[in-house]
Amino acid sequence: MIEPVQLPVPWRDARLTVVVPTYNEAGNLPVLVERLLALPLPGLKILVADDNSPDGTGEVADKLAIEHPDRVEVVHRAGKEGLGRAYVDGIGRALEGGAEYVAQMDADLSHPPEALPGMLGALLSTQAGVVIGSRYVPGGELDENWPLYRRALSGWANLYVHTLLRVRIRDLTAGFKIWRADALRDIGLERVQSNGYSFQVEMHYLATKLGHTILEVPIRFEERRDGASKMTTATKIESALMPFKLRSKHRNIER
C-alpha cells in the first residue's frame, strides 16, 4: 500500500466527491470506505450508487452513511442498468451537491484509494480537465495475479479503440480518475449514451473532442479481493460497437 501524498492548504480541503458504483460489493465496500476516509483530504465525500444489489450492498452502504453522515451518501437505483448509467446518475448528483472535483473508482479495491491525493495534486497543479490513474504509462503496474486473458482483453481493447478513435491516451478504458467539475459540465452528461464499461471510452473521447487536457499518472492496478467481475457478453458487444457510434454521433461536437 502506497503512502498518500500530503497536499498543502487549501488543496487538501478541496470539495472532492468520490463516486463509487456498486453491484454485489458488500464485502469490499466497508474496506474501501475506511481507506478513503483515512486519507488526508477532509473535504472528501463518498457517493455510493447501488444498483439494488441482491447481496445486501445497499444495506451495507446505508449503515456506512449512518456512521459517517456528513461524508457518505447513498443513491439506491431501481436495478442493474449498467456501469455507465450508475456513473451518470452519481456524477450528476455530485455536481448538484457542490463538488468542485469528482473522482470515479471501482468498489472492488482494484484502484488504490491512497493514490487519490497525488492525483488531485496533479490536477490542481496543471490545466488538466481530468487526471487518469493509468496502468499503461511508465511506472504503472498490473497485479501479477490478474489473469492472462484479462490482460490480453484489456490490451486488445485499448489498441482497438486507439486505432478507431485516434485518442492519445494510453489507458483509454481506465476507470480511476478525477475530473474538474467544469470539465464535466462542459462535456454534458446528457450527451453520454454508454451503459457499460464503454462509458469510460466515451467520456475520454468527449473530453478530447472538446479540447480538455487529459493527464495520466501511474498506478498499480490490483486484482479484486472479493466477488466476481461484472463483465458480460452484452457489455463486450457494446464496447466493441461503441467506437463506431462515437465517431458518428460526436463528429461535429463543439463547445
pLDDT tens-place values along the chain, 255 residues long:
789 999 999 999 999 999 999 999 999 999 999 999 999 999 999 999 999 999 999 999 999 999 999 999 999 998 888 888 999 999 999 999 999 999 999 999 999 999 999 999 999 999 999 999 999 999 999 877 766 766 666 766 767 776 777 788 989 889 999 999 999 999 999 988 888 778 898 899 899 989 999 999 999 999 766 655 555 555 555 556 666 666 666 666 765
In the prediction, which pLDDT does 18 show? Answer: 98
| 120 close to 41: Cβ distance less than 8 angstroms | yes
Closest C-alpha to 107, from 18, 196, 235, 231: 18
Sign of CA dihedral 106, 111, 115, 120: negative
Sign of CA dihedral 92, 25, 57, 80: positive
| Distance from C-alpha of 19 to C-alpha of 21, rounded to nearest angstrom | 7
What is the number of helices (H) and of strands (E) in the chain?
Answer: 8, 9
Quick one: which H or E segment has residue 221?
Answer: strand 220-221
Please confirm whether the linkage preceding 4 is cis (ω < 30° from 0): no
In the prediction, which pLDDT does 237 show? Answer: 57
| 29 close to 59: Cβ distance less than 8 angstroms | no
Quick one: which H or E segment has residue 165?
Answer: helix 148-165
Per DSSP, the three-state class of 112 is coil
Chain centre distance of CA 157: 17
Sign of CA dihedral 209, 15, 46, 1: positive
Report the residue count for the chain: 255
Mean pLDDT, the chain, whole residue set: 88
The grid coordinates of residue 230 equal 461484472
pTM of the model: 0.89
Closest C-alpha to 165, from 112, 252, 242, 101: 242
Q: What is the pLDDT of residues 13-61, one digit of tens each?
A: 999 999 999 999 999 999 999 999 999 999 999 999 999 999 999 999 9
Chain centre distance of CA 130: 11
Q: What is the pLDDT of residues 6-24, one digit of tens each?
A: 999 999 999 999 999 999 9
Closest C-alpha to 158, from 218, 217, 243: 243
